[in-house]
Homo-oligomer: A and B are copies of this chain.
Amino acid sequence: MKCRKCSGSAVINMRQHKLALCKEHFLDWVLTQTERNIQKYRMFNHNDQILVAVSGGKDSLALWDVLNKLGYQTGGLYIHLGISGENHYSDQSLDYVSNFAESRNLKLHIADIPEKFGKTIPQISKNSRRNKSKPCAICGLVKRHTMNEIAVQFHYDILVTGHNLDDEVSVLFNNTLSWQIDFLRRQSPVIPSKDGLPKKAKPFCRFYERETAAYSILSEIDYIEEECPFADGNTMIDNKNVLNQLEHEHAGTKLSFYLKFLKAKQILFPDIVSYFSPEETLQSCDSCGQPSPNKGICSFCRLIEETCK
């Protein structure tokens, strides 16, 4: 197969776009498309200070790389969760992130959960009253809180994450199967700042996972290939399989599902997208000061109180 731009040998064929590209033109294409997304959804501009949440995986490191190449002012945030597994998952991820940042001379914030609270994520989850077999919900809560905290503390204008189209579509599909209106309302490429919570954006939301993977490999970004040891058997996995099947049968199904959802949202939820429903008023947490829909202390502080003290 030949590159559409130069007739050189194509390294990737994107069926949904009927577009095959060589290495050079594919890497260019990723940059151009990212810039286009940033503009289209009014995510940020070149004056903004951007905090990139990085896990050490392909998506977030590719995103940081692209934003850096596009000339944006970025800092990274790595949250050390204390997850070990066979290969010391968290320590290894941090190595990848540190090497990435150092080699490009980029600022990196490290939030060390075990160091700060004396417990790892699996330990916090185990101690928690809502103890489940998997710490994923707890991990999400801790990460969200920490990202907000660092973004505000260091005066970043926006927090960005490496969520790709497959991530977005699998969440969307899950929320649609169960018609969770509040979650549907909240899903967006960009969420404005509210009551002290930072603005958030997902500049990669229109890239398929195989495209971010291809970008990382072709750009020779070293990233952790291992998945989080808790990811396996996740309830989302069945849905991902089904979505892959639909995509296989009709190339572009995922992209179309996502884009048509974004369009429908403007009619279904014409109020400005935000973290919480428009009716909800946010309180300041008595302990950490972060905005929260709960009175008294927020869910994060309650969790830490319950599990780490």
A residues touching B (Cβ–Cβ < 8 Å)? 176-179, 181, 238-239, 241-242, 245-246, 249-250, 253, 256-257, 260-261, 263-264, 267-268
- Min CB distance A198 to B, Å, is 29
List the B residue with the shortest CB-CB distance to A177: B257
Residues B242 and A177 in contact, CB atoms below 8 Å apart: no
Residues B238 and A246 in contact, CB atoms below 8 Å apart: yes
Can you pick out 20 interface pairs between chain A and chain B where the beta carbons lie within 8 Å of each other? A177-B246, A177-B253, A177-B260, A178-B257, A178-B260, A179-B257, A179-B260, A179-B261, A179-B263, A179-B264, A181-B264, A181-B267, A181-B268, A238-B246, A238-B249, A238-B250, A239-B246, A242-B242, A242-B246, A245-B245
**Bound: A257/B174 CA distance, A:** 10
Residues of B within 8 A of A260 (CB): 177-179
**Bound: A257/B178 CA distance, A:** 6
- Min CB distance A213 to B, Å, is 24
| Among candidates B239, B246, B268, residue contacting A268 with C-beta atoms closer than 8 Å | B268
List the B residue with the shortest CB-CB distance to A268: B268
New A-B contacts (19) at CB < 8 Å, excluding given A178-B257, A179-B264: A176-B176, A177-B246, A177-B256, A177-B257, A178-B260, A179-B257, A179-B260, A179-B261, A179-B263, A181-B264, A181-B267, A238-B246, A238-B249, A238-B250, A239-B246, A242-B242, A242-B246, A245-B245, A268-B268
